[in-house]
Amino acid sequence: MTAADPLTVRDRVLAAAYTCVTRFGLAKTTIEDVVKESGVSRATIYRQFPGGRDELLQATVAWEIARYFNELADAVRDAPDLAHLLEDGLVFARRSVVEHEVLQKMLVTEPERLLPLLTTESSKTLPFIAAFLHPYLEREERAGRLRPGVDLDRAADYLARGILALIGEAGRWDFEDRAQVRDVVRNELLGGIVVTV
């Protein structure tokens, strides 16, 4: 790794900050902890994150969320249609959230610090998910399966919001039961969008 590559340095700092958060929690992670973990100087960290600790922690949460959604996208990319993509994606996503040790620990020990960061990041995550879904909606439209008058942009936004809500809280559905996942996807998420699913 070369020090001249700011993306590499930034990723190194974010990875170190994430490690520190797993070890100490959000409240107790300091810039000095990240300096020690990353091997990057304090001055370099402040050049990358001029807002200091708060900016670094916000960026760390965003970095981990982006990594999570990239893994999710890779897991469902080959789905044959929108319904299967949503079913497989919700199962993968819910399992990942439930099994994410750091997230679960922070939701119990530091929800007042974590939840505002997650809320801030959701405004960036929604467009990412909607953009990912758009080609699948276009495919459904070409196949003649969309209900008349469905606006693709609005449908993608609606689905992205529904997905985020279900990832965060499954509600009355058991996501270990594929029949229930199929029901929520086909009747709740896609019922007003796709004619036959």
> E strands of the chain, at which residues?
none
Which of 11, 3, 7, 13 lies closest to 42 in space, CA to CA?
13
How many Å apart are CA 168 and CA 177, to the nearest integer?
Answer: 17
Which of 176, 43, 69 lies closest to 131 in space, CA to CA?
69
- 18 φ/ψ sector (left φ>0, alpha ψ -120 to 50, else beta): alpha
Look at residue 171 in the predicted model and tell me its pLDDT.
78
* CATH class of the region 1-50: mainly alpha
- Helix, strand counts (H, E) of the chain: 9, 0
Fold of 63-189: Tetracycline Repressor; domain 2 (1.10.357)
Contact (Cβ atoms closer than 8 angstroms) between residue 9 and residue 48: yes
The pTM (predicted TM-score) of the whole model is 0.73
Look at residue 71 in the predicted model and tell me its pLDDT.
85
Q: Where are the domains of the chain?
A: 1-50, 63-189
Q: Which amino acid is at 49?
A: F
In tens digits, what is the pLDDT along the chain, a chain of 197 residues?
A: 445 555 589 999 999 999 998 888 888 999 999 999 999 999 999 999 999 999 999 898 888 888 888 888 888 888 899 999 999 998 888 888 777 777 777 767 766 766 566 666 677 788 888 999 999 999 999 999 999 999 999 999 999 989 888 877 777 888 889 999 999 999 999 998 998 65
